[in-house]
Chains A and B, each alone.
Chain A
Amino acid sequence: MIRFAAASKSYRVNGSTAPALHPVDLTIEAGEVFGIIGHSGAGKSTLLRLINLLERPTAGRVFVDGRDVTDAQGAELRRLRAGIGMIFQHFNLLSSRSVADNVAFPLRLQGGMTEAAVAERVAELLGLVGLSAHADKYPAQLSGGQKQRVGIARALATRPSILLCDEATSALDPQTTASVLELLADINRRLGLTIVLITHEMDVIRRVCDRVAVLDAGHVVEMGSVADVFLHPHHPTTRRFVAEADHREGRGPEFPGVSGRLFRLSFRGDATYSPLLSRVVRDTGVEYNLLSGRVDRIKDEPYGQLTLAMHGERLDDALAQIRAAGVDIEEVNR
């Protein structure tokens, strides 16, 4: 669907070149929600803009729908862009036009539709994002969440197959963020749209993404399914993002004064809700101490992650039983 082949970008600053993105090889599949996470300046915004060529790669190629689009110009470039919707952190709506006219804007840019057909499509889109009652308002009269919904309706107007989200929820409060993410997930399911989103919040990734790439200083340092990356982060940057999402920033995994060995147990899917621990404890007589834990969902899949201190004569037996039930165990060094 979208493929980067050694695509890189550097900028010339005062005569010397500063790399913003080191060569990236990445494939985003049709219909998936793909997240790119990184701190500001990590290159995620550049990577996203390579897809609709708001930024041109300095080297390497970009493929969309199997076609090499890297050098697209003129009408070809505009056709490519019409097939890729985009929403923005600051919404970027036209302040001089009503909600309905903002949504109609891309349709009128392309031409070829009667005003009646435009009006019909706009009504349909405003219904989709739940803003039918606000068609005649101006952006300044809307809340942040409503503005982003207008942005989403506008981005979907030309029936694109790809939606790019540039920090789309970063300017919104947590509740509005949740409802906008829900809308994106819903659109992904109902329209089969491929969504590429960039964010600096692991929580956004956890809620809607299927796969994630972690960017650090212009390098893709980790990539995989969200569950894998979230439950077993390897790169220090990824670990920091996951820690932030767990609200345990800065606290190390050491638990002074706790005896026994420390283990992190990761449950996924149905295992999350089965009474595994109590059964193992009964069978083997080991004792455990629950030090920290979280039970939540990654997109639609439940997961749990518990950190336990365990001791007992039959500890190895207990660990084997837990592993046999499909739970992942990592020993935490201290």
Chain B
Amino acid sequence: MSPMQNLFPNIDWAEIAQACVDTLLMLGGSLLFTLVLGLPLGVWLFLTARGQLHARPKLYAALSLVVNVLRSIPFIILMILLIPLTQAITGVSIGIRGAIVPLVIGAAPFFARLVETALREVDRGVIEASQAMGATTAQIVTRVLLPEARAGLIASTTVTAVALVGYTAMGGIVGAGGLGALAYQYGYNGYKPDYMLVTVALLVVLVQVLQSIGDRLVTRYSRR
């Protein structure tokens, strides 16, 4: 027996590799759609808030309520609640594709709030200067707000990606596959502690990698 087999007697490394691929696919897919939905939602929240460019206090309150409700439902409950929607969109209720729908709906409102907060950090004077130069609201969003908030938006993306890693692991419990599923199936139900150890270690590595990529990008794009 090789030393690896001594240390981790139960582990099927091919299965671990497949689980890693599944986790990365779920993470990548859900992060992509979270950004695509969450960024405009965050911009919308920012613009409609009191005292902002397109202040619509009632609309803001409604959007805010939806975001808060989605954020306050525990992810594991959200997954179950969303099974009909998931089936309608993807045709399946489990697996990688099936997991992406609840992952996005769980993470997009969270990301939108972070986007709103990042945009609020943009100096009001810069926005006023752009208005004084005759910029339209669309120009202010795309050429002033988003570029000026770039470092904050990257940091928000990192936080969201890390949160999604946790969500994907939970998704594993209801059959989404990936590292979380392995940890639960073999590590917990099958009582194979080496599986638990390896999957958790891989999740830790994944989070570390995401965080350091994010931190590097933030440093690179900080011009203050």
A residues within 8 Å of B by Cβ? 52, 54, 77-82, 84, 86, 88, 90, 92-97, 105-106, 108-110, 138-140, 154, 158, 164
Given known A78-B136, A96-B147, A96-B150, contact A140–B223 (CB-CB < 8 A): yes
Knowing A94-B144, A95-B224, A96-B148, the reply to whether A110 touches B128 (Cβ < 8 A) is: no
* CB nearest neighbor in A for B126: A92
CB-CB under 8 A from A154, the residues of chain B are 133
What are 12 A-B contacts defined by CB distance under 8 Å? A84-B132, A92-B126, A93-B126, A93-B129, A96-B147, A96-B150, A96-B223, A109-B130, A109-B143, A110-B134, A139-B223, A164-B132
Q: A84-B132, A93-B126 are in contact. List 7 more A-B contacts (CB 8 A).
A: A86-B129, A90-B123, A92-B125, A95-B224, A96-B221, A105-B130, A106-B134
Interface size range on B against A: 20 to 34
Q: Please state if B132 and A54 are interface contacts (CB–CB under 8 Å).
A: yes
Q: Mark B105-139, 1 if CB is under 8 A from A, else 0.
A: 00000000000000000010110111111111001
The CA of A108 and the CA of B144, in the complex, are separated in Å by 12
Mostly, the B contact residues are: helix
Task: Report Cα–Cα, A88/B129, bound state, in Å.
Answer: 8
B residues in contact (CB < 8 Å) with A: 123, 125-126, 128-136, 139, 143-144, 147-148, 150, 221, 223-224
Task: Specify the chain B residue showing the minimal Cβ separation from A81.
Answer: B134
Residues of the A chain whose Cβ atoms lie less than 8 Å from the Cβ of B130: 105, 109
Determine the distance from Cα of A226 to Cα of B45 in the docked complex, in whole angstroms. Answer: 48
Looking across the interface, which residue of chain A has its beta carbon closest to that of B125?
A92
Complex Cα distance, B152 from A95, in Å, reads: 13
* B residues less than 8 Å from A97 (CB atoms): 147
Number of A-B contacts (CB under 8 A): 67
CB-based contact B223/A95 at 8 Å: yes
Quote the shortest CB–CB distance from B100 to chain A (angstroms).
32
Which chain B residues border A96 with CB–CB below 8 Å? 147-148, 150, 221, 223
How far does the Cβ of B151 sit from chain A's closest Cβ, in whole Å? Answer: 9
The answer on a CB contact under 8 Å between A94 and B132 is no
B147 to chain A: closest residue by CB = A96
The answer, among A80, A108, A140, for a CB contact under 8 Å with B224, is A140
Nearest B residue (CB) for A157: B133
**Chain B residues whose CB sits within 8 angstroms of the CB of A81 once the complex forms:** 131-134
Complex Cα distance, B134 from A84, in Å, reads 9
Complex: A95 Cα to B223 Cα, angstroms: 6
| CA gap between A115 and B128 in the complex, in Å | 25
Interfacial chain B residues near A52, Cβ < 8 Å: 132
User: Which of the residues A77, A92, A110 comes within 8 Å of B129, measured between beta carbons?
Assistant: A92
B148-A94 in contact (CB<8A): yes
B81 to chain A, nearest CB (A): 40
Is A82 in contact with B134, judged by CB distance below 8 angstroms?
yes
**What chain B residues lie within 8 Å of A77 (beta carbons)?**
134
B123: chain A residues within 8 A (beta carbon): 90, 92, 95
- Chain B nearest Cβ from A147, distance in angstroms: 12
- Interface pair A106/B133, CB less than 8 Å apart: yes
Min CB distance, A101 to chain B, in Å?
10
Query: Are B148 and A95 interface neighbours, CB within 8 A?
Result: yes
CB-CB under 8 A for A79 and B128, given A96-B147, A109-B139: no
Distance, CA A108 to CA B133, complexed state (A) = 11
